[in-house]
């Protein structure tokens, strides 16, 4: 039987973003039962809850993820190999998070989620930025094939590093439509408003880790303009945990005297997200660069209109369910905010188009595309 190991580490260590993508794809692969001997590799120890939440047994390492990174990539030592922990020789190893661990697998696939670190130096902390610029190109050269989250990331790989298109397979993310769907129960909406101290006013939702690439400072400035020019009654709710270089976000709220109008509820539990999306008048995601834009598709699946940038992969995620703005221009964002906040017919149009668009993004579709890549590279 063909033996495939998948690096499941992000699925265990990261709740949102890349972790959500890896979990969704691999859980769907397991459900499709492709007939492979599939082994889930995890860098670092795992606890009982993490083991019970996985779709297959986890092959974890006694060495911490941090120390393995030091050994493998900073010291560039080719041991210990993945096979040492997954039970023997591998036909294929799929590294799911930018870097390729040492392996003698017959074929090696590597997922590149985006190249933000190339275009935006503050997309990561300085030490991580340097690490990615050294290790990711090296991993790309070692891999037989590349998985890209979007057509835009695939083009970036070809244009920036000369990766031949035939080595790249685009595997877009998906949405669990049994979870992310419109919540019309006003009581549930009211409960989530109370849980995160949002209040009764109409609100614009933004959601992501607080870091420069997410463009929250410009969003706050644009919100101030839109409030003044269109007399908006809305609050701006910016949800998400603190990342790095986030001080300017809070400082701008104070400078513009928006403390009563901009609310930071922090991290949102996954169980509350559908009701929160549904309660919002619309979702604002004017990121400067993304690899896929999963929150956009989740919002659309909940029937929530989206305002987002016209850059990178964002039009792939938003399709006809979004209003597009120039993410680097405060006035463009402000015009979009005012238009969506005051035009109920536009919101209704985007809501209907967005639900149809989001329906195409399923984890089963994503998993089938991933399995096609496995089959193609195994046949080489």
Reported as a single tens digit per residue, the pLDDT across 113-165 is 999 999 887 766 777 778 888 899 999 999 999 999 999 999 999 999 999 99
Intrachain domains 3-174+362-378 and 186-358 with the same fold: yes
* Bridge partner residues of 147 (DSSP): 111, 169
The domain locations on the chain are 3-174+362-378, 186-358
Share of the chain above pLDDT 90, in %: 89
How sure is the predictor about 79, in pLDDT bands with cuts at 50, 70 and 90? confident
* Arithmetic mean of pLDDT over the chain: 95
**Per CATH, which fold does 186-358 belong to?**
Rossmann fold (3.40.50)
Q: What is the CATH number of domain 3-174+362-378?
A: 3.40.50.2000
Cα distance between residue 158 and residue 162, in whole Å: 4
**What is the model's pLDDT at position 32?**
96
Q: What is the pLDDT of residue 129?
A: 76
> Would you say residue 342 has pLDDT above 90?
yes
Residue 211 CA to residue 249 CA, distance in Å, equals: 9
Average pLDDT of span 327-342: 98
- 36-73 residue pLDDT tens: 999 999 999 999 999 999 999 999 999 999 899 888 87
pLDDT tens by residue, 168-226: 999 999 999 999 999 999 999 999 999 999 999 999 999 999 999 999 999 999 999 99
Q: How confident is the model at residue 266 (pLDDT cuts 50, 70, 90)?
A: very high
Examine the pLDDT at 95 and tell me if it is beyond 90: yes
């Amino acid at each position: 039987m063909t033996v495939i190991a998948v690096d499941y580490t992000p699925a265990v260590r990261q709740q949102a973003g890349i972790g959500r993508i890896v979990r969704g794809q691999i859980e769907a692969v397991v459900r499709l039962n492709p007939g492979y001997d599939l082994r889930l590799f995890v860098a670092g120890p795992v606890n009982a809850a993490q083991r019970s939440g996985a779709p297959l047994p986890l092959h974890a390492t006694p060495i911490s993820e941090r120390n393995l990174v030091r050994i493998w990539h900073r010291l560039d030592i080719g041991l210990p190999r993945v096979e040492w922990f997954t039970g023997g020789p591998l036909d294929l190893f799929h590294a799911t998070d930018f870097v390729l661990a040492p392996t003698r697998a017959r074929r090696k696939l590597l997922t590149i989620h985006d190249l933000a670190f190339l275009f935006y130096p503050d997309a990561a902390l300085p030490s991580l930025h340097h690490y990615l610029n050294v290790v990711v190109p090296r991993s790309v050269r070692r891999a037989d094939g590349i998985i890209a989250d979007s057509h835009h990331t695939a083009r970036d790989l070809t244009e920036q590093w000369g990766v031949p298109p035939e080595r790249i397979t685009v595997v877009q993310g998906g949405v669990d439509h049994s979870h992310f769907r419109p919540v019309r129960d006003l009581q549930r909406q009211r409960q989530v408003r109370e849980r995160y101290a949002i209040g009764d006013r109409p609100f614009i939702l933004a959601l992501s880790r607080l870091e420069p690439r997410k463009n929250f400072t410009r969003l706050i400035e644009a919100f101030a303009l839109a409030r003044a020019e269109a007399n908006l009654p809305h609050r701006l709710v910016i949800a998400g945990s603190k990342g790095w270089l986030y001080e300017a976000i809070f400082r701008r709220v104070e400078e513009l005297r928006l403390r009563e109008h901009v609310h930071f509820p922090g991290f949102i539990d996954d169980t509350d997200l559908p009701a929160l999306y549904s309660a919002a008048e619309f979702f604002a995601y004017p990121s400067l660069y993304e690899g896929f834009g999963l929150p956009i598709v989740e919002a659309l699946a909940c029937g929530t209109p989206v305002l987002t940038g016209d850059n990178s992969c964002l039009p792939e995620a938003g399709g006809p369910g979004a209003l597009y703005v120039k993410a680097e221009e405060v006035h463009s964002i402000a015009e979009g905010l005012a238009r969506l906040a005051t035009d109920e017919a536009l919101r209704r149009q985007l809501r209907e188009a967005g639900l149809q668009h989001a329906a195409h993004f399923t984890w089963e579709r994503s998993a089938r595309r991933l399995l096609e890549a496995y089959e193609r590279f195994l046949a080489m």
